[in-house]
């Protein structure tokens, strides 16, 4: 399982999504003082989650 790291911003496409206010607050607190944007944080978190799911599926097949 890969460790989550706050990512550097990259080019993106807009996508509207609703988040609970508590999640927004937690993400904003986590990225405060960094160069990371909210979107970049969510994208990296999603990538890590997808990799973890793939690893779990692969280990179940073995």
- What pLDDT is recorded for position 18? 96
pLDDT at 15: 83
Ordered by start, the domain boundaries in the chain are 35-62
Residue 25 CB partners (closer than 8 Å, separation 6+): none
Per-position pLDDT tens, the chain of length 62: 788 888 777 777 888 999 999 999 999 999 999 999 998 899 899 999 999 999 998 888 87
pLDDT for the residue 42: 93
Say which DSSP state 22 is in. Answer: H
């Amino acid at each position: 399982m890969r460790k989550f790291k706050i990512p550097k911003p990259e080019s993106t496409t807009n996508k509207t999504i609703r988040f609970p206010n508590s999640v927004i607050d937690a993400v904003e607190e986590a990225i405060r003082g960094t160069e990371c944007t909210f979107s970049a944080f969510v994208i990296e978190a999603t990538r890590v989650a997808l990799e973890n799911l793939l690893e779990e599926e692969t280990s179940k097949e073995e």
